[in-house]
Amino acid sequence: MAVPPKKVHVFTAGGQKYSVMAPDYYANISDATGLREIADTDNDAQNDSDVSDLLQQGLLFRINATVKGADGKRYRARLLCSQDNVKTVKARIKGKELYGGRTITGASFPRRRVLR
């Protein structure tokens, strides 16, 4: 199964909006992660930043999600979460569908923080 194409997503952290290019995983989990896709004509984000810069600043966090596919196999997905949703994302993301019929069965934060 192929990875979805990258699209422009926007999130809010500290009262300011940021936009990033990310894979199109976030359609069903945008309320839990805080990232939502924006249309090409919608320009409501003030800052266009690189993901690694936002990770270093602490505005974005990575999440490791355990995903069960339609074929019954377990997969891993590395997702992004905004600073405002980091406390509740693990509980809110479980049971939601990712892409291609894959369901999220668990989530955790990486033990080692890699900022790239």
Given this model, what pLDDT does residue 48 score? 67
Delimit the domains of the chain by residue range. 6-108
Q: How many whole angstroms separate alpha carbon 26 and alpha carbon 23?
A: 8
Taking the model in full, what pTM does it have?
0.81
DSSP-based three-state secondary structure for 92: helix
Given this model, what pLDDT does residue 68 score? 94
Neighbours of 41 (CB within 10 A): 5
Q: What is the percentage of the chain residues whose pLDDT exceeds 90?
A: 28
